[in-house]
Chain A
Amino acid sequence: MDVFTSLLHGFQVALTPLNLSLAFAGTFLGTLIGALPGIGPVNGVAILIPIAYALKLPPESALILLAGVYYGAEYGGRIASILLNVPGDAGAVITTLDGYPMAQKGNAGEALALSAISSFIGGTLAVIGLTLFAPYLAEWAIKFGPAEYFALMVFAFSTLASLAGKNPVKALIASVFGLMLATVGIDPGSGVPRFTFGEMKLYDGVDFLVVAIGLFAISEVLTLLEHSYSGSAAQMKVRTTLVSFKTFMYSLWSILRSALIGFFIGVLPGAGASIASAVAYTTEKRLVDREGTFGTGDPRGVAAPEAANNAASGGAMVPMLTLGVPGSGTTAVLLGALMMFNVTPGPLIFEQRPEIVWGLIASMYIGNVMLLVLNLPLVGLFARILTVPRWLLVPSIAALSFIGVYAVNNSAFDLLFMTGIGIVGYLMRKAGFPLAPVILGLVLGRLMEVNLRRALSISGGDWTILYASPLSKALWILAIVSLLFPWLMGLFASRKGGRGSGER
């Protein structure tokens, strides 16, 4: 089946009234969640999963809703960046560099409009990339054996470890912790209960949803209490949300280049929107910033990171859908959500459940158009939401987290477990352990173990099968290189800059 027919079938799924309204709800909530500093896409998606689950939505509809929140949040993040100099989410940090100066010069409306259009171009190009590349990658990945899969997952963890957070060892510890959580419950291979301490509730394993919401949302609420800063900053006046054709054309090449950079960085496991926007910004600065206007309100400095972070969120869907190996915290949560609906993403999903992948991809074309409309004329509405006081916003997030988890199982045990995981998440944040690897470990743990055991069954217990094929060899080498990369860079830098900064 060629791509075009598949996509057409996808549109048949995405254009049903239910899925259209879910795409709208998802993108609207996504913009809202992105706009609010403090809650990012991970929290938004995690909190919405129980609602999607309790509503008994079909899996493709649930994914359309949740993915809408995910890529919608990248649109919304820029609003607070531009108006308040506070990034709405991690992907929008770079947008403050030129967005806020532009707003200070009185061009807030223009900055908002240009960044919305850049987001749209970045997001749409990424969906086109997803449409074109994903089927081929899936076709290629079907040939993966269990050894290759195991090596691929090791590769995903090692890139995540080298990119997420400052200390790779802490990211590795977080990954192992997630994998350990995944081993709790009945062992699928032998039927033996593991690490359950006789607690019947743990026989089915640790509830993914409880961990995701506890780890991200509850720990966030605890963190926000620490930074209870004094009110929101003075609201900028937004007069018009229009960008002149001249400014747009001036930024067009930056937008296109950044979208390309963002997409490919998004595809890489471990690297997401925040890295993509930083790389795109520095690249543009190097390429086009001849007068040194970047950082002082250059429109290209607003356009580049926004095109890149939206392209990255589309790119991150590629490994999640085709390989079943997510590259970021949010895509790991999306993957976990799909598993709750008994759908296992991976190369076979394109053949077995085309309505899910193609329905999602088609809905992303529609969703990006909806987001453009939401973010151009209605941006004032979202800007006003930034004035919601903290004492109202944060408790509401906490209440929503609790209701969501309670709605699925009606169990106080889950709520207490979620609170406990929230404490763990808070301590991890404070001590510099990234959270995304935990969720990735929890989501991939079973699959990783199953593939390891399958590989060793094929070889009759011979461990060399794990790196026997050229592909698995290449993946192991890539995994080791990406893990050593920051260390090698540090070694190089300290040799260059003398040994004064070394420890002790």
Chain B
Amino acid sequence: MSQQNASHGSDRIIGVLLLSLSVAYGFEARSLEADFLADPLGPKAFPLLLAAALGIFSLYLILRPDPDPKWPPRNVLLGQGLMLLSFVVYSYALAPLGFLLSTTLEMGALSRLFGASWGRGLLAGALLAGALYVIFVFGLGIPLPLGRWWPR
């Protein structure tokens, strides 16, 4: 049967990562000390319980893993990586470039990842950014940055 050959590596790796998280979290919790004791448990009991629970569950995951999920092919992974990169750049670009410019560029890049041409993506991005700016700033009264280059 093909099911028997299915590999279980993903869950084992996740299990090991979670187990290390529970150990690290547990150690950090053990070092917590309160200056005064308002209650018999103090700040560390609940976190220690959680660390123990996560430890047990992740051991179970290592011993009884599910078959591996279908991880996306390389071209999709590349796309997802580019998308995440664009999110990071967008996060840092919002304040200096301003909402209108950075959102137009970000929308253009994302639309491109979803198969639209640069021209269409940028045009749609500019329209959406403009519409959202009007809705947020003038309609809802929520300020959005214009950027350092904007003449004022």
Chain A contact residues, CB within 8 Å of chain B: 51, 54-55, 166-167, 169-170, 172-173, 176-177, 179-180, 183, 187, 189-192, 194-195, 218, 221-222, 225-226, 228, 389-392, 394-396, 398-400, 402-403, 406-407, 410, 412, 415-416, 419, 422-423, 426-427, 430-432, 448-449, 452-454, 456-457, 460-461, 504
Contact = CB atoms under 8 A, between A and B. Distances in A.
Interface of B is mostly: helix
A159 to B, nearest CB: 17
Given A183-B47, A431-B10, A419 B61 contact: no
A419 B87 contact: yes
B61 A173 contact: yes
6 contacts: A170-B66, A180-B25, A187-B43, A192-B43, A427-B14, A431-B14
Nearest to B29: A194
B13 to A, nearest CB: 10
A449 to B, nearest CB: 4
B32 to A, nearest CB: 6
Interface string B31-68: 01111111111110111001001100110110010100
A179 B91 contact: no
Interface of A is mostly: helix
Contact of B25 (A195, A226, A412, A419): A195
Interface in B86-131: 87-88, 90-92, 94-95, 99, 103, 106-107, 110-111, 113-116, 120-121, 124-125, 128-129
Given A172-B57, A194-B47, A432-B69, A412 B40 contact: no
Given A394-B114, A452-B46, 11 more contacts: A169-B61, A169-B64, A173-B61, A180-B25, A191-B35, A195-B28, A391-B121, A399-B107, A400-B132, A402-B91, A407-B144
Contact of B76 (A172, A226, A457): A226
A459 B9 CA distance: 46
B128 to A, nearest CB: 6
A349 B146 CA distance: 42
A317 to B, nearest CB: 27
Contacts of B33: 192
A395 B118 CA distance: 13
B54 A190 contact: no
Contacts of A431: 10-11, 14, 66, 69
A392 B124 contact: yes
A453 B47 contact: no
B7 interface: no
A430 B71 contact: yes
Contact of A395 (B80, B94, B110): B110
Contacts of A391: 111, 114-116, 120-121
B132 A399 contact: yes
A183 B50 contact: yes
A225 B113 CA distance: 8
Nearest to B85: A419
A169 B124 CA distance: 44
A453 B141 CA distance: 43
Contacts of A407: 136, 142, 144
Contacts of A395: 106-107, 110-111, 114, 121, 125
Q: Which of A170, A391, A394 has the most CB of B within 10 A?
A: A391
A190 B87 contact: no
Contacts of B90: 402, 415
B134 interface: no
B108 to A, nearest CB: 9
Contact of A54 (B42, B91, B116, B142): B142
B20 to A, nearest CB: 13
Nearest to B93: A412
Contact of A189 (B39, B50, B116, B141): B39
